[in-house]
Structure 1
Amino acid sequence: SQNRQLPIAIQLAIFLNCVGHYGNAILPEYVAQCAGVGTGTVHNCTNHVMVAILDQHDIFIQFPGLDSEDVARAWVYTQNRLCPEWHNGILAADGSAFRLFAKPAMHGETFFDHKSNYSLNCQASIY
Structure 2
Amino acid sequence: MPTLSLHQQLLHDVFEDAARLQALRRDELDLRFGLESSTEDVESESDVESNMSTTSGISAISFMSIDSAQVPEDSDAISNSGIDEIAADELYLRHMTALGERLHFLTTSRHLAVYKAVHKASQLHLVLQLYNENNPKRFRRNLRVFPPTFDALLNHIENHTIFQNQSNVPQMPVPHQLTIALYQFGHDENAAGPEAVAQWAGSSAGMVVKASRRVIVAFLALHDQVIRWPSAAEKKAAKEWAEADSCAAWMHGYAPIWHTGYALREACTSWRGILRPQVELFAQHAAHHPS
TM-score of the pair, normalised by structure 1: 0.53
Distance (Å, rounded) in 1 between the aligned partners of 2:232 and 2:264: 37
The residue number in structure 2 matching 1:58 is 224
The residue number in structure 1 matching 2:270 is 113
Q: More helix by proportion, 1 or 2?
A: 2
Deviation at 1:73, TM superposition (A): 8.4
- Identity, in percent, stands at 34
Q: More strand by proportion, 1 or 2?
A: 1
The residue number in structure 2 matching 1:27 is 193
CA spacing shift, 1:108–1:38, aligned 2, 3 Å: same
Deviation at 1:48, TM superposition (A): 0.4
Deviation at 1:25, TM superposition (A): 1.4
Deviation at 1:61, TM superposition (A): 2.2
The residue number in structure 2 matching 1:37 is 203
Distance (Å, rounded) in 2 between the aligned partners of 1:48 and 1:40: 12
Distance (Å, rounded) in 2 between the aligned partners of 1:31 and 1:45: 11
- Give unpaired runs (5+ residues) of structure 1: 65-69, 84-105, 122-127
Answer with 1 or 2: which has the greater Rg.
2
Distance (Å, rounded) in 2 between the aligned partners of 1:17 and 1:82: 32
- Give unpaired runs (5+ residues) of structure 2: 1-164, 240-250, 255-262, 277-291
The residue type paired with residue 113 of structure 1 is S
The residue number in structure 1 matching 2:177 is 11
Higher relative contact order (CA 8 A, sep 6+): 1
Deviation at 1:4, TM superposition (A): 2.2
Distance (Å, rounded) in 2 between the aligned partners of 1:52 and 1:120: 33
Q: Deviations over 1:2-35 (max 9, x none)?
A: 4421100100110110111122211110111111
CA spacing shift, 1:71–1:42, aligned 2, 3 Å: same
Distance (Å, rounded) in 2 between the aligned partners of 1:8 and 1:52: 11
Distance (Å, rounded) in 2 between the aligned partners of 1:30 and 1:54: 25
The residue type paired with residue 27 of structure 1 is G
CA spacing shift, 1:112–1:52, aligned 2, 3 Å: closer
Matched residues, number: 89
Give the RMSD, CA atoms, in angstroms. Answer: 3.4
